[in-house]
Amino acid sequence: MNTHPVYKPASLADVDSMIAAHPFALVISSTDGAPLATPVPLLLERGVNGDMTLLGHVPRAHPHTDLLRQQPRALAVFQGAHGYISPSWLSDRTQAPTWNYESVQLEIEVDFDDSDEATQNALNRLVDHMERGRPNAWAVAEMGARYAKLAPYVVAFRARVIAAYAKFKLGQNERPSDLAEILAGLEREQQRPLLEAMLRAGVSVD
């Protein structure tokens, strides 16, 4: 991914928060020169030394699973808040449209764990993450006997992150006058996720 210092996230915590809020990644591999992509929910773990690991699960009987067992290197792409920025919001209508977005790309090496314990851990972790804060939150244990029937159809994995690239293009290079109108346009069109991402990035209208 082409990155630029002006679009660099302010901190590693910003990257972690974006992935936590948007865990549904696209895992991309290449086979015989052709791409193979599968959407997969992934959780990020960061060690005390900053090392990154992804935790996930995939269908056991799946062409991409077979490929990753043979070729564990892949790319995981996380897409955060994004949206079209319309010149119709601006007083200066000579400005071109653009697209603001948050994107994180991780080069990974996948390591499958076929044990029942690993599957249970991956499923519990993901469900707990997605159910957190919900009233009457659900837990995997509530499946009862159905869990033993369904769990064998998936396999857990951890993926070591080899390289990480993050680009948060959120109006950092806009003129203050244009930026104020962009924020107002997002507010009018109720594009709250992108508006909030831009405000978190600290863009200034002063």
Above 80 in pLDDT, residue 206?
A: no
Predicted TM-score (pTM) of this structure? 0.94
pLDDT at 165 exceeding the cut of 90:
yes
Give the residue extent of every domain in the chain: 5-200
Domain covering 5-200 in this structure, CATH number? 2.30.110.10
Burial of 162 (0-12, 13-18, 19+ CB in 10 A): exposed
How does pLDDT run across 86-114, given as a tens digit for each residue?
Answer: 999 999 999 999 999 999 999 999 999 99
Mean pLDDT over all residues of the chain? 96
